[in-house]
Amino acid sequence: MSFRLPKFPMLTLFHNPASKVSTQALALLRQASVTHKFDIDLIESTTTAPTHQQVSSIVEYLGEGSVAKGCSEILDTAQGAPKASTVAEVRKILDANPGYLRRPLVVDWNKGKAVVADPASRVSEMVKNVGDEE
């Protein structure tokens, strides 16, 4: 007899361990994962950029249909990131300096949603319907 283990949805956290807000967001995600039954894909790096496909998706998710909005949301101008108006520009900027990615950034790839969790309490926006069918 064989059986399958339950498969939980997964949220990705692009995390900066040196950031208090990012650490708070991770703690909130871990707490919520118990109740809402999801796994966390933790990317703890400020030196590795998301893939080009991930950048395209994140810009789309953050912008909610507006590329310009998504491009402004994904880059951390407080860290000196230049402004970008296209996905190609964002990719080029992040390829040159992955530290320009705004963190903490939570992505639900299955639902097509993303949020910059600053303040960390914005994590609750992402977890309340994780796993629900749309």
129 and 109 belong to one structural domain: yes
The model's pTM is: 0.89
Low-confidence ranges of the chain (pLDDT < 70): 1-6, 131-134
| pLDDT at residue 63, as a whole number | 94
- How many C-beta neighbours within 10 Å does residue 47 have? 7
Tell me: do 93 and 111 sit in the same domain.
no
User: Does residue 2 lie in a domain region?
Assistant: no
In which residue are the tokens 């956290």 written?
A: 13
C-alpha to C-alpha distances, 33 to 13, 39, 83, 87, 103, nearest whole angstrom: 13, 6, 34, 31, 19
For residue 78, being part of any structural domain is answered with: yes
Phi/psi of residue 43, each to 5°? -110, 95
**Could you tell me if 14 and 25 lie in one domain?**
yes
In a domain, 3, yes or no: no
Is residue 4 in a domain? no
118, 76, 80, 48 alpha-carbon torsion, rounded to 10°: 120
Rg of the chain on CA atoms, in Å: 15
Indicate the pairing of strand 39-44 with strand 10-15. parallel
Residue 85 structural domain: 50-100
Contact 46, 103 (CB under 8 A): yes
- How many domains does one find in the chain? 2
Task: Based on the fold, state whether residues 56 and 96 are members of the same structural domain.
Answer: yes
The string of pLDDT tens digits covering residues 22-43 is: 999 999 999 999 988 899 999 9
